[in-house]
Amino acid sequence: MANYRLRSGLLLETASAQGDRSCYAIAKRTGISESTLSRLRRGVAKPASETLLVLSQAYGLSIDDLIEHSAAVGPEVQSGSAAGNDEATRGPAGSPQSSKSAPTHK
């Protein structure tokens, strides 16, 4: 699997030049949550294709400009929203996983 992450420095520089100097301002312009932007900025999450498309359109950057391809971009990012992927965590066959635990019997 290819290892990539968001080029957050370029995004922040471009956003700042357009008046968006915070994750809040970027979130407001793009509709991407501040928490997702924060995870992407810190390199904890890999951007989903939809996220890259929205950022590309909002700031006039190509998707290729927004991603950094490398075998050494840091620790391996696990899939799943809590583990670093900004897409929803999925269960078997792509269905959303429930966060509820199975009932316990005493």
List, as own/partner pairs, every contact residues 63-69 make where C-beta atoms lie below 8 angstroms and the sequence separation is at least 24, other chains included.
Answer: 65/7, 65/10, 66/6, 66/7, 66/10, 66/11, 67/4, 67/5, 67/6, 67/7, 68/4, 68/5, 68/6, 68/7, 69/2, 69/3, 69/4
Lookup: tokens for 63: 């998707």
Is 55 among the domain residues? Answer: yes
- Evaluate whether residue 32 is within a structural domain: yes
- Provide mean pLDDT across the span 75-86: 48
Question: Domain of 53?
Answer: 4-67
Q: Any bridge partners for residue 5, and if so which?
A: 68
Residue 23 forms part of a structural domain: yes
pLDDT tier for residue 48 given thresholds of 50, 70 and 90: very high
Report if residue 77 sits inside a domain.
no
Domain-embedded: residue 46: yes
CATH of the domain at 15: 1.10.260.40
Q: What is the pTM of this model?
A: 0.66
The verdict on residue 45 lying in a domain is yes
Q: What is the tally of helices (H) and strands (E) in the chain?
A: 5, 2
Number of domains in the chain: 1
* pLDDT band with cut points at 50, 70 and 90 for residue 53: very high
Other beta carbons within 10 Å of 79 = 13
Let me know: does 5 contact 67? Beta carbons within 8 Å: yes
